[in-house]
Amino acid sequence: MITALAGGVGAARFLTGLVKLVDEKNVTIIVNTGDDIELHGLHISPDIDTIAYTLAGIVDEEKGWGIKGDTFHCLTALGKLGQETWFALGDKDLAMHVFRTNLLKKGCKLSEVTAEATRLLGLNVAILPMTDDRFETRIVTKRGEIHFQEYLVKRQARDAVYGVKFLGADTAEPAVGVIDAIMNTTKVVVCPSNPIVSIGTILALKGVRDALKKTNADKVAVSPIVAGAPIKGPADKLLWGLRLEVSAYAVAELYADFIDTFIIDTADLAQKGEIEKLGIKVRVANTIMRTLEDKVHLAKIVLGS
């Protein structure tokens, strides 16, 4: 059994390789929901959808999110009605948000809706939202506090980051099955996702970090930082904002209290010794996933360490 902690695009790419080696039925993916946003009256869960669409083979591979070949007629029409269009919701993608919002309004939990959507997409993995409760990642900027999607997409990560806040972290409970999936598994994999706003959100939930420390599972993390830069996304700006170094070492430090092994890219070989001093085993591999072979190769390293 494998339990993965995941954010969006980087995690989805890695998981594509993993499910080539492991039966989907033995994989549980705990997904960040701090990026979730309500727009046009719809509940959007970008990281859940990115992972589900990728594993179902329908993701727009170039962007890493959304559905391949999607059109944007509804968004254009919304624009003509004076609505905000900065978040590019495709027509087919919108169907997922309508489906989710309807079921949530009927009283279903996000985890129940996600399980149903996963089944309807033909997947056998368990995709678990980290929480069914409200949890929102907010970025503190000079102009005030804004939703993570507003920072990333609307303002294109232009603002200097003064801090990151997790609204709901004090009250949100992990979704049913989250703690169990960490405690009763043989391996926990921390995917190559943003350590602050993807994995950091999951770790901020009550009981998650303790479960990771207590579980007998082998715990492996893959560095999302290669040669001093994130593979994708604004992790560098967020790390700077929190006065942290942008390096594989800095990520290892954030996870040092619970992981057994850290996988770093060959470009970061020089940091191996320093990371080992944190009491973590280090494996060096190619972590850049361009092809399916790269993804499978990285998954093999993770499974073997």
Which residue, 128, 262, 144, 149, is CA-closest to 205?
Answer: 128
Residue 12 Cα to chain centre, angstroms:
8
**Which residue of the chain is nearest ligand FO1 when measured via CB?**
8
CB of 48 to ligand FO1, least distance (A): 8
Which residue, 3, 46, 44, 37, is CA-closest to 194?
Answer: 46
Q: Contact residues for ligand FO1 (CB under 6 A)? A: 7-9, 35, 44, 46-47, 49-50, 65-66, 87-89, 93, 149, 152-153
The residue among 103 and 152 lying less far from ligand FO1, judged by its C-beta, is 152
The residue among 87 and 99 lying less far from ligand FO1, judged by its C-beta, is 87
CB of 26 to ligand FO1, least distance (A): 25
Maximum Cα–Cα distance for the chain, whole Å?
A: 58
CB of 70 to ligand FO1, least distance (A): 10
What region, left, alpha or beta, does residue 281 occupy, with left being phi > 0 and alpha being psi -120 to 50 degrees? beta
The residue among 103 and 282 lying less far from ligand FO1, judged by its C-beta, is 103
Residue 263 Cα to chain centre, angstroms:
17
Residue 14 Cα to chain centre, angstroms:
11
Buried b / exposed e over 91-121, threshold 16 CB at 10 Å, is eebbebbeebbebbeeebbbbbbbbebbeeb
Q: Partners of 44 in the beta sheet?
A: 37
CB of 51 to ligand FO1, least distance (A): 10
CB of 157 to ligand FO1, least distance (A): 9
* Segment (H or E) for 75: helix 73-80
CB of 89 to ligand FO1, least distance (A): 5
The residue among 14 and 249 lying less far from ligand FO1, judged by its C-beta, is 14
The residue among 50 and 141 lying less far from ligand FO1, judged by its C-beta, is 50
CA angle, residues 161, 30, 131, in degrees to nearest 5: 75
The residue among 36 and 265 lying less far from ligand FO1, judged by its C-beta, is 36
